[in-house]
Amino acid sequence: MTTKKLTLQDKIDKLEKLSNFFTNQEDLDLDEAVKKYEEASKLAVEVKKELSSIELKIKEIKSTYEEREESDF
């Protein structure tokens, strides 16, 4: 079995689908709901980590740009 690495957008889309599962169900199968909740929790942690990493990278780029801009004067 091959596992495809999901992109950040794939993870966000999947998280949204899982969220919709809970909001659009009248009768929830408890076992299925627990599995989907666990999957959503794991995805949420992964998305948060990736977003934090992206935020840090943006701050580093911004800092580098600002340093270059200041040294040009």
Query: Could you list the residue range(s) of the whole structural domain that residue 31 is in?
Result: 8-71
The answer as to whether 38 is a domain residue is: yes
The answer as to whether 56 is a domain residue is: yes
The answer as to whether 3 is a domain residue is: no
Predicted model pTM: 0.76
What's the structural domain count of the chain? 1
The answer as to whether 31 is a domain residue is: yes
The answer as to whether 67 is a domain residue is: yes
pLDDT value of position 3: 52
d(CA 36, CA 42): 10
Contact (CB, 8 A) for 44 and 14: no
Q: What is the pLDDT of residues 31-69, one digit of tens each?
A: 999 999 999 999 999 999 999 999 999 999 999 988 887
pLDDT value of position 65: 86
The answer as to whether 13 is a domain residue is: yes
The answer as to whether 1 is a domain residue is: no
The C-alpha angle with vertex 51 and arms to 32 and 18, in degrees rounded to 5, equals 15
The answer as to whether 2 is a domain residue is: no
